[in-house]
Amino acid sequence: MQPEPEFDQFFTYWRPHISRFLVWLEGDYAVIDDAVQETMISAHRYWDRVRQLENPRGWLCKVARQRLGDAQEARRRQGISTDPYDIPDRPPPGRDPTAALVDHLAVIEAVRKLPPRQATAIALQLKFDAPLSEIADIMEISTGSVKTHLHHARQALEELLSEGYGGTR
Amino acid sequence: MNLEERLRDAASAIEGMWADPEENRLQLARLHQRLDQPLPQSNEEATWLTVAEAAAVLKVRKMTVYRLVHSGHLPAVREGRSFHVLETDVHALTEEAKRVEAATAPKPAPMQNSRQAAGRDQRPSNEVTFLTVAEVAAVMDVAKMTVYRLVNSGHLPAIRVGHSFRIPEHAVHEYLHMLHSADVTGGERS
């Protein structure tokens, strides 16, 4: 196979970003890695078209979301649950220096517990600061629905995160 | 701290992850390894199938084939307004499904199966025929619902295609044989 420096660059740049997007939605890093690999395989397959995209972010997120679903499905078939409710709780943070870190984890895990579409919408907003129109395009829904999802997501997060740190669900 | 700040904090914490260039390189190497593998399909006499033909081979609806194409699971070329897919790709898809099935199928009872398994191995693997739920129901002379129950309870191994199941024919026969022999030994015991 001939070297494809352009694609390699693309991969090196986007892999971390897509992973950081998916980590909002999935706690199993192996599943995330698989999903990102599959996304990149698709990018390679359609490289002629993907390289011409002005901003491949939307395309990548769209595909990554599908591939994450596939990877989760595959994991489920192998009998390992990826249900966020099955992931053991982190201990509640004390007043120690790691408290900030644990709070991040609590926030991320709260997002993962949201319904998938709410989680996706808020993940896109937090990771990429994506405008509503782009989120709508990625999720293939209207901007109005995006606003609804974001609003419900914030409401639910408020509730999930208010009742004590990392606490009750 | 309000919610918005906590969300932003977590987001910026995440920005520090996957930052290891070495790991990035490893993953890139892994990707190239995978891309290099399925190349030897470049023989000239590749057979192209229409979507309808592929659907017939896979025993699914045309719509499912379109979905597989769009999701990237089934590579396709466009000719005008229609898609064509490589026969080898379709077979690769069934092989993949079979591999998943083999990995997830409940271990067969060890006793009676060694001979059957040996016989099965001699057969070329592409001869495994898959049945739809309706067909299995007809073979076993039970309701379709019973077949679904057997699949869900793990008594019958099945692969998922879209929203429906396909069951390898030999598994149905093995299951019936197992029931039969269980019946016989049960009869002796009582």
Cα→Cα distances A48→A35, A53, A62, B21, Å = 21, 9, 18, 26
Distance from CA of A44 to the nearest CA of B (A): 9
Residue A67 near residue A35, CB atoms below 8 Å: yes
Contact: A107, B9; criterion CB under 8 Å:
yes
Nearest beta carbon to residue A23 from set B17, B34, B100: B17
The strand order across the sheet containing B164-168 reads B130-132, B164-168, B159-161
- Report the C-alpha gap between B65 and B77 in whole angstroms: 13
Q: With bands split at pLDDT 50, 70 and 90, how would you rate the model's confidence at B86?
A: confident
Total beta-carbon pairs less than 8 A apart between chain A and chain B: 85
Q: Find the Cα–Cα–Cα–Cα dihedral B95, B26, A34, A24, rounded to 10°.
A: 180
Q: Is the pLDDT of residue A7 over 70?
A: yes
Q: What is the pLDDT of residues B33-84, one digit of tens each?
A: 888 765 554 555 678 888 888 898 888 888 888 888 888 788 888 777 788 8
Map tokens 């069934």 to a residue: B94
Cα→Cα distances A40→A34, A53, A61, A114, A131, Å = 10, 15, 11, 27, 24
Cα→Cα distances B25→A15, A91, B22, B30, B125, Å = 10, 34, 5, 9, 37
Q: With bands split at pLDDT 50, 70 and 90, how would you rate the model's confidence at B113?
A: very low
A127 contacts on B by Cβ (under 8 Å): 11, 14
Work out the average pLDDT over A140-165: 88
**What is the per-residue pLDDT for A90?**
45
Residue B30 near residue A37, CB atoms below 8 Å: yes
**Chain A, nearest residue to B2 by Cα:** A158
**What is the per-residue pLDDT for A91?**
43
Q: String of b and e for A142-166 (b: at least 16 CB within 10 Å)?
A: eeeebeebbebbbebbeebbeeeeb
- Residue A84: DSSP 8-state: G
**What is the per-residue pLDDT for B111?**
43
Alpha-carbon radius of gyration of chain B: 23
Question: Chain A residues within 8 A (CB-CB) of chain B?
Answer: 1, 8, 11-12, 15-16, 19-20, 23-24, 33, 36-37, 40-42, 44-46, 63, 66, 70, 74, 77-79, 100-101, 103-104, 107-108, 122, 126-127, 154, 157-158, 161
Q: What is the mean pLDDT of chain B?
A: 78
**Residues of chain B with pLDDT > 70: what percent?**
78
Distance from CA of A74 to the nearest CA of B (A): 9
**Chain B, nearest residue to A123 by Cα:** B11
- Residue B131: DSSP 8-state: E
Q: What is the pLDDT of residues B118-154, one digit of tens each?
A: 444 444 455 678 888 989 998 888 888 889 988 888 8
